[in-house]
């Protein structure tokens, strides 16, 4: 694969002032000599050159070409970027000409894959590139930039260093016994180092939940009995008429979704059908969907009608959501509050929802998340591998306490070591790489 020279459009496929076609590979300058009529091997790296893209004697476009030599490039191989006029036809014609004279179309994510394969970045950094492209907030983009800059990789490398110290103690003692028994070795050396490792990995995993919220947003389900103002609340939060609002109970019969940016974190809002006993077949399906959505929620906004006393359906929902991360929202305060329950009082109809927004920020400590003081891991693959490494070290610690021979204990530690290496892609398999990079944009 690395023997090919690849090409792709690196900018959006729409009309614009400028489009960029990116090429990378061992024969990139041969391709350019055929279509640009200049020998770019003789120019300095990281320079820009003016000229024309040609198909034989036909001029395709007037362009600027960025030239990058050797290892000091994103992919770790020779690269050029053709800055052409941004018309869709012209852009495609320039790309077709590149392919006609020796390049091939790049696969999704193939430029980033080459950067990884050539040692320019590790796998965690490569995945952060995709995260940056899909980021929807400033905090999510900063999280991804931390990964691209190698801060996540440094975190994992520190864990690897801690783990290798434990493994070294065991391996050295197997070859050159310093202690008379495994109990002595465990008490004096292995358990303190293992406890320190577990403290670090636990803190990283605790922060990982915050990282996931920054990256993916907070799955927020609005729930309540019919006609308490759920749809009005959704519209007020979104600042648009997303859901139909009427005085007729049961108007919302299906899931209505939308997203807002609150304190730099995305809230993925879901307005559900009002939960009540009903004989209406369509409404009943909506009620079942509403209950199913609760299991997926990071936050439940249970809306109560503050203008009326609690009813049986309210109490059922209070019981249903008691163990969930919820905020009780007392709506219709403009009509007077006649409900004996502590909750955040709002008037969705009058757009008086500031108190609720502040409570959400408080519950999720959005101010702290926005400060970016800690390095958060948010990638599901990374979190899963960290959990696996933790479990392996926990098994090793139990074995230490039981006095099991060290040559058996070390096997679990090597499993944890492999999990940490997999995060960085140090032993990545080809099929896994193909799956990961296929999710990238073409041209990245």
The CATH number of whichever domain residue 114 belongs to comes to 3.30.1360.120
Count of alpha carbons within 13 Å of 78, Cβ hemisphere only?
17
Residue 133 belongs to some domain of the structure: yes
Q: Is the same domain home to 235 and 344?
A: yes
pLDDT at 351 over 90: no
Say yes or no: 153 and 51 in one domain: no
On whether both 93 and 229 belong to a single domain, the answer is no
Does residue 273 surpass a pLDDT of 60? no
Assigned domain for 188 exists: yes
Average pLDDT over residues 24-36: 95
36 lies in the same domain as 86: yes
Domain boundary residue, one of 121, 153, 173: 121
Strands laid side by side in the 79-86 sheet? 47-55, 58-68, 79-86, 16-24, 6-9, 104-105
Question: Torsions phi, psi of 218, nearest 5?
Answer: -100, 115
CATH of the domain at 229: 3.40.50.300
Both 232 and 206 in one domain: the answer is no
Asked if residue 236 and residue 203 are part of one domain, the reply reads no
End residue of a domain, out of 99, 121, 143: 121
Give the pLDDT of residue 3.
87
Better-scored residue on pLDDT, 444 or 135: 135
Burial class for 96, CB neighbours closer than 10 Å (0-12, 13-18, 19+) = middle
Q: Both 347 and 406 in a single domain?
A: no
For residue 169, what pLDDT is reported? 77
Residue 80 covered by a domain: yes
Least confident of 121-125, 393-397, 429-433: 429-433
Domain containing 12 equals: 6-121
Report the mean per-residue pLDDT for the chain.
82
Which tokens sit at 409? 């204990």
Q: Do the Cβ atoms of 88 and 96 come closer than 8 Å?
A: no
Q: Does residue 275 carry a pLDDT above 60?
A: no
3-state secondary structure of 426: coil
pLDDT at 249: 40
pLDDT grade for 56, boundaries at 50, 70 and 90: very high
CATH number of the domain that residue 207 is part of: 1.20.120.430
Question: Does a structural domain hold residue 431?
Answer: no
User: Tens digits of per-residue pLDDT, 209-256?
Assistant: 777 777 778 888 888 888 888 888 888 887 765 433 334 344 343 455
The DSSP line for 86-142 is E-HHHHHHHHHHHHHTT-EEPPTTHHHHHHHHTTSS-HHHHHHHHHHHH--SHHHHH
Does residue 328 lie in a domain region? yes
Half-sphere exposure (CA, 13 Å, Cβ side) for 334? 9
* Angstrom distances, CA of residue 37 to CA of 51, 110, 195, 294: 8, 27, 64, 63
pLDDT of residue 159: 92
Domain co-membership, 315 together with 420: no
pLDDT digits (tens, 9 = 90+) for 75-95: 999 999 999 998 899 999 999
Instruction: Decide if 335 is inside a domain.
Output: yes
Write down how long the chain is: 444
Question: 419 with 382: CB under 8 angstroms?
Answer: no
Is 433 part of a structural domain of the chain? Answer: no
Q: Does the pTM exceed 0.85?
A: no
pLDDT of residue 432: 57
> Is there a single domain that holds both residue 198 and residue 276?
no
Neighbouring C-beta atoms of residue 107, cutoff 10 Å? 16
Domain end residue (candidates: 86, 104, 121): 121
Could you tell me if residue 157 is inside a domain?
A: yes
Whether residues 179 and 286 fall in one domain: no
303 and 227 within one domain: yes
Q: Specify whether 117 is located in the same domain as 61.
A: yes
Structural domains in the chain (count) = 3
């Amino acid at each position: 694969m690395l023997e090919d020279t690849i090409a792709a459009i690196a900018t959006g496929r729409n009309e614009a002032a400028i489009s960029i076609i990116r090429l990378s590979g061992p024969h990139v300058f041969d391709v350019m000599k055929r279509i640009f009529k200049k020998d770019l091997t003789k120019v300095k790296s990281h320079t820009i050159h003016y000229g024309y893209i040609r198909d034989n004697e036909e001029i395709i476009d007037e362009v600027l070409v960025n030239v990058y030599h050797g290892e000091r490039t994103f992919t770790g191989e020779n690269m050029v970027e053709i800055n052409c006029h941004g018309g869709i036809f012209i852009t495609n014609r320039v790309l077709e000409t590149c392919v006609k004279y020796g390049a091939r179309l790049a696969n999704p994510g193939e430029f980033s894959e080459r950067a990884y394969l050539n040692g320019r970045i590790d796998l965690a950094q490569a995945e952060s590139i995709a995260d940056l492209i899909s980021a929807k907030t400033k905090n999510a983009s900063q999280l991804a930039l931390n990964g691209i800059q190698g801060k996540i990789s440094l975190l994992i490398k520190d864990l690897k260093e801690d783990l290798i110290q434990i493994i070294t103690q065991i391996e050295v003692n197997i070859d050159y016994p310093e202690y008379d028994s495994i109990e002595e070795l465990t008490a004096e050396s292995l358990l303190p180092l293992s406890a320190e490792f577990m403290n670090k990995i636990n803190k990283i995993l605790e922060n990982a939940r915050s990282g996931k919220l920054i990256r993916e947003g907070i799955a927020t389900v609005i729930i309540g009995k019919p006609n308490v103002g759920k749809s009005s609340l959704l519209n007020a939060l979104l600042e648009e008429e997303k859901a139909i609002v009427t005085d007729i109970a049961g108007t919302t019969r299906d899931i209505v979704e939308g997203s807002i940016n609150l304190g730099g974190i995305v809230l993925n809002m879901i307005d559900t059908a009002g939960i009540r006993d009903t004989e209406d077949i369509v409404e009943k399906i909506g009620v079942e969907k509403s209950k199913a959505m609760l299991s997926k929620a990071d936050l439940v906004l249970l809306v109560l009608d503050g203008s009326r006393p609690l009813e049986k359906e309210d109490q059922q929902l209070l019981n249903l959501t008691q163990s969930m991360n919820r905020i009780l929202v007392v709506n219709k305060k403009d009509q007077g509050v006649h409900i004996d329950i502590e909750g955040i009082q709002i008037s969705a109809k009058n757009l008086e929802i500031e108190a609720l927004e502040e409570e959400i920020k408080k519950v999720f400590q959005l101010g702290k998340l926005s400060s970016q003081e800690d390095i958060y891991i948010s990638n599901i693959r990374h979190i899963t591998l960290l959990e696996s490494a933790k479990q392996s070290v926990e098994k090793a610690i139990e074995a230490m306490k039981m006095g099991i021979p060290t040559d058996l204990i070390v096997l679990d530690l090597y499993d944890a070591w492999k999990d940490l290496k997999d995060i960085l892609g140090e032993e990545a398999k080809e099929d896994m790489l193909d799956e990961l990079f296929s999710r990238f944009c073409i041209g990245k």
